[in-house]
Chain A
Amino acid sequence: MNKINLFKPSKENLNIFLIIGALFFLLGVLDFCLNNFQGKNITFFLPGFISFFTPLIFGMIGLYLIRIEFSGIRLLDNLNKNINTSNFNAALSISIILLIIFSVAPLLNWFILEATFVGDSKEACTGDGACWVYIKTWFNRFMYGMYPNAEQWRVNATFIIVLGLMGAGYFSPLRYKKYLTFYYVIILPIISFLLIYYLISGGEFGLVWVETGAWGGLSLTFIVSFFSLIFCFPIGMMLALGRRSDLSVVKYSSLSFIEFWRGVPLITVLFMSAVMFPMFLPDGTYVDKLIRVIVAITLFEAAYTAEVIRGGLQALPRGQYDAAKSLGMGYWRLHFLVILPQALKLVIPGIANTFLALVKDTPLIFVVGLLELVGMLNLAKTNPKWLGFSMEGYVFAGIIFWIICYSMSKYSQSLELKYKTDR
């Protein structure tokens, strides 16, 4: 047995240092847990200030003792390399570990262990945790708004058909591929509009008419984002081309259009569509609230899309333009066959970010009185039978939006990889 110098961890006494270090580390965690969850302070004899930091100090001593280079144990080496390179790093690592312990346990309690899942009224929720009964009871409202329960199959059917049509384009045989853009930009929106008009709105073919004011919940989020997404892309493309045009009238009108929409908040645009826009129409004409909202959001996001696409256009080398021109291509053929396909590939992340922003902006339509998911939550929150469950509602909506947005951003990353070409 070699002599042990406690202040200099060395390879010779690896096991002893490992055991002592791990013990110190566990002691720190134990002290922290007892302090926070049991209300017991095992270091009560120390002055308050030091007692508060004991978990950190114990943990740091522990990590210091096991900081042995080239120990030969792969796990330990990895650990040291990744979270334990210096005292400062060790302190940060321990703070984060303690923070995770501190937040995970109560969250787990709230979400699952003490939560209520069974029941059908507020009285069922007796535990300290979340009351998921609330979400269960209001689920239909959160999904479909005030849409009549008996008619909700129509919304489902529409979404399934539209999704199917979108998938059909994706899996279409190779020889139809050249019509794909045409299909997505013109045919699909028309079909979806007709579907929504006849199936969701109803009024004909023996279907009960449901006014747009009754639409709501997550399905409305989808409808608004779907149409705005589809329309804002071609408009943004034209604006981007317009902004780079040689014709000064076209250039400056596109420029001012883009800068106007980018300079104002969406909420004022929606205000405008709600209270100001009717003043600009001939007396007696009425445009449906939903359509006004979709137009407003489309124009707003088109300006952002235009700037993103312009970035792509600017990134292309001049040679591409010159080469296409020398082949005798005119303005439109040059842009649609040579420039835009390359530019759009470059700006996939930017476009995805704009689309994400659009989806995240849809809750704002509460301004004009349309209640999508977040709006419905705020309505449900004020129901006298279900007071005091706003937390559950917001957490639920947060999870749904997070899943939608996160999968969209992951999808855009995969697209980016797929279309990446070496230049």
Chain B
Amino acid sequence: MKLKKILPQLITLLFIILIFGFFTMNAQENMDTRGIEFGFGFLNKAASFDIQFSLIDYDGSMSYARAYLVGLLNTLLVSVIGIFLCTILGAIVGVARLSPNYLIRKTATFYIEFFRNIPLLLQIFFWYFAALRALPMPEDAPLLLGSSFMTIKGLYTPAPIWNNFDVFMIALIISMVIIFFFNKFAKRKQEEEGIQYPKFLISLGIFILFPALTFLIGGVDLSWSFPKLKQLALTSFTFEGGLGIPPELIALTLALTLYTATFIAENVRAGIQGIGRGQKEAAASIGLTPSQVLKLVILPQALRIIIPPTTNQYLNLTKNSSLAAAIAYPDLVLVFAGTAMMQTGRAIEIVGITMATYLTISLAISALMNWYNKRIAIQEK
């Protein structure tokens, strides 16, 4: 009996060791013959290539490690924007799919069936190479909303110029901390004494009031820099000032949002449908108002169904953002696994680091969501 348990494990172990051993041995041999030394020392060398779009200061004289950071931040930027937008869109479409209005229901269904059945890469290409290329040149671009320009070279919007931005940020953080403790306090009051505070309104008030105060007494000042057309050469124009969002980022965000939102919409629909009618009726029969029914009975239960698959979609979005490499948006894959690898030729280290980075992000997000999921799970008594 013992043997029956140990033997398969031994065989598996042997198999794994053999494969890994075979690979490492070959890698060692190959690197020896090519005269490459395994190591991460190259990260400190000057990268000597430029990156089109960067959130932090970067130029070619900085190290490969810095280039890696630029790529990572760009990946995170597009992921965060995408997750934010696709959650909103997905929630709206998911609710719309259950609407009693025939037209709305069918439109939502059409949207979902249309966008989820076309490869994401194709959608990215479509937005970048076909749709955004049809936009006007900077000199012909019409004014949007009185301040922005949508051109073939990207979207130009006014950029905020802050004075004493850190004071503002600190006020924001303090207001969030206050809101957190206030909500805890309100919850305890409700559970112990049954007193209900208008939690949302007070929270919103604190959230607006505190940062607003800094404008009056903290010396915080906000002004806007507007994009202005500038002539570079006879036929070449560009915009100066303001915030320039490159078309690669727009195309990528658009495609990721529209694609992932279809999946989130389906999750939302399944979550709402997964709650029995009885729950709603029971809640109404004990005298809760419709908004209370939604807030206290439906949503907490629906979220329990919605969150786990939605987390998966967030992860998918983050991983799919690596398709950026196809349209030359300088994300982690393009900057590091692309350009940096071409220059250094260190395939194993660089692909390894890239994969490890994504693995860390994935495991971190799923750990966070597991924690949250456990917190809202049914606590059976």
Which residues of A does B touch, CB under 8 Å?
Answer: 82-83, 85, 89, 92-93, 96-97, 246-250, 253, 259-260, 262-268, 271-272, 275-276, 278-283, 356, 359-364, 366-367, 374, 377-378, 381, 390-391, 394-395, 397-398, 401-402, 405-406, 409
Determine the distance from Cα of A279 to Cα of B131 in the docked complex, in whole angstroms.
41
Q: B324 CB to closest chain A CB, in angstroms?
A: 9
Q: B128 CB to closest chain A CB, in angstroms?
A: 9
Q: Are A93 and B101 CB-contacts (below 8 A) given A265-B322, A268-B322, A394-B126?
A: yes
Determine the distance from Cα of A29 to Cα of B262 in the docked complex, in whole angstroms.
30
Q: Across the interface, do B101 and A89 meet the contact criterion of CB distance under 8 Å?
A: yes
Given the complex, which residues of B lie within 8 Å of A85, measured CB to CB?
100-101
When the two chains form the complex, which single residue of B27, B122, B134, B352 contacts A397, counting CB atoms closer than 8 Å? B122
When the two chains form the complex, which single residue of B103, B129, B323 contacts A394, counting CB atoms closer than 8 Å? B129
Determine the distance from Cα of A381 to Cα of B104 in the docked complex, in whole angstroms.
37
Determine the distance from Cα of A249 to Cα of B347 in the docked complex, in whole angstroms.
30
When the two chains form the complex, which single residue of A249, A260, A275, A402 contacts B9, counting CB atoms closer than 8 Å? A249
Q: Across the interface, do A83 and B101 meet the contact criterion of CB distance under 8 Å?
A: yes
B372 at interface by CB-CB < 8 Å? no
Q: Across the interface, do B16 and A253 meet the contact criterion of CB distance under 8 Å?
A: yes
Given the complex, which residues of B lie within 8 Å of A281, measured CB to CB?
26
Given the complex, which residues of A lie within 8 Å of B101, measured CB to CB?
82-83, 85, 89, 92-93
Q: Across the interface, do A275 and B359 meet the contact criterion of CB distance under 8 Å?
A: no
Determine the distance from Cα of A81 to Cα of B29 in the docked complex, in whole angstroms.
75
When the two chains form the complex, which single residue of B29, B131, B322, B325 contacts A283, counting CB atoms closer than 8 Å? B29
Q: Across the interface, do A249 and B13 meet the contact criterion of CB distance under 8 Å?
A: yes
B169 at interface by CB-CB < 8 Å? no
Main secondary structure of the interface of A (DSSP, over half): helix
Given the complex, which residues of A lie within 8 Å of B5, measured CB to CB?
246-247
* Closest A residue to B22 using CB positions: A280
Given the complex, which residues of A lie within 8 Å of B9, measured CB to CB?
247-250
Most B Cβ at <10 Å: residue of A260, A361, A374: A374
Determine the distance from Cα of A299 to Cα of B195 in the docked complex, in whole angstroms.
57
* A-facing residues in B321-374 (Cβ within 8 Å): 322-323, 325-326, 333, 337, 341, 347-348, 351-352, 354-355, 358-359, 362-363
Q: B19 CB to closest chain A CB, in angstroms?
A: 10
B42 at interface by CB-CB < 8 Å? no
28 A-B pairs with CB atoms under 8 Å apart are A82-B100, A82-B101, A247-B12, A249-B12, A249-B13, A250-B8, A250-B12, A259-B363, A265-B322, A265-B333, A267-B333, A268-B322, A272-B351, A276-B348, A279-B26, A279-B30, A279-B347, A280-B27, A280-B30, A356-B117, A363-B121, A367-B325, A390-B130, A391-B130, A394-B129, A398-B126, A405-B118, A409-B117
